[in-house]
Amino acid sequence: MNAQLGLADAPGTVAVPMSEIGRFAMFTVSLAGTQQPAGSRLSIMASASVTENLNAVIRHLADDTRWMWIVGDDHVWENDCLLRLLAAMDATPEADIMVPLVVKRNPPWHLVVFHEDGEREEDGLPRWRPYGWEEIPEEGVFEIDGAGSAGMLIKREVLDEIGDPWFRSSGGVVLNEDVTFCLDARKRGFHLYACADVTMGHLGIFNVRPMRRGGRWGAMTEFSSPDERYQHLFMPDAETHEAVLNGR
């Protein structure tokens, strides 16, 4: 131990004892532990509008920012999640947007990576078909049509090309800014990929995250109390999910 260091130059520990594992606490622990390239910045915008928060962050991006990674207070992730996504994007030059595997935060437990369904609602809103669990490869990346914004990694050139507003909800009512952004990016020739090597937890009534076991993908639901930790692995027998309007 170096006793010559002043406290301002010495390492220490921030202690956060808690009586329960709540949603915001789990998110905060993930955020604090995130490994990231040197010089990366944290930008937070808070209001009642998720869409406007995203746009406000992009308007204030520094000139030297080459990528943006979207996380929310209902997400949890491993410390190296961002670095692994960046490495996967570097190894896939054709990928302009990359997402981890994420499960819808409340039942039904389906993935929020999508095929464009080809059908529309009466008001013109497009519908999306979630990827079936059996469609997901054991490892590696695969091209997709759309995704929820959880853990979405976006190259700067995509944002520069789309322009303000980058995120918008079609019709201004339904919160579908995530898949609308994917549509706008694809119309401009950009490509979206998902990475089966990186997963993220989604906080709803449980922490739910994708897990592969016995050669199959499923959803692990977790709940912790001060005394016990509960886990349940949901392994779907068949794909029964209907088309959806967004990635929530």
Kindly report the CATH number assigned to the domain that includes residue 89. 3.90.550.40
Is 248 contained in some domain? no
- Tell me, yes or no, whether 242 lies in a domain: no
In a domain, residue 190? The reply is: yes
Q: Provide the domain count of the chain.
A: 1
CA distance 79 to 36: 9
What does the pLDDT look like over 96-144, one tens digit per residue?
A: 999 999 999 888 889 999 998 777 777 677 789 999 999 999 999 999 9
Residue 20 in any domain: the answer is: no
pLDDT in tens, the chain (248 residues): 555 665 556 555 554 454 445 567 788 889 889 999 989 999 988 888 888 999 999 999 999 999 999 998 889 999 999 999 999 999 999 999 999 999 998 888 899 999 987 777 776 777 899 999 999 999 999 999 999 999 999 999 999 999 999 999 876 656 789 999 999 999 999 999 999 999 999 988 788 999 998 889 998 888 755 455 666 776 665 455 566 665 55
126, containing H or E segment: strand 126-130
pTM: predicted TM-score of the whole model, two decimal places:
0.86
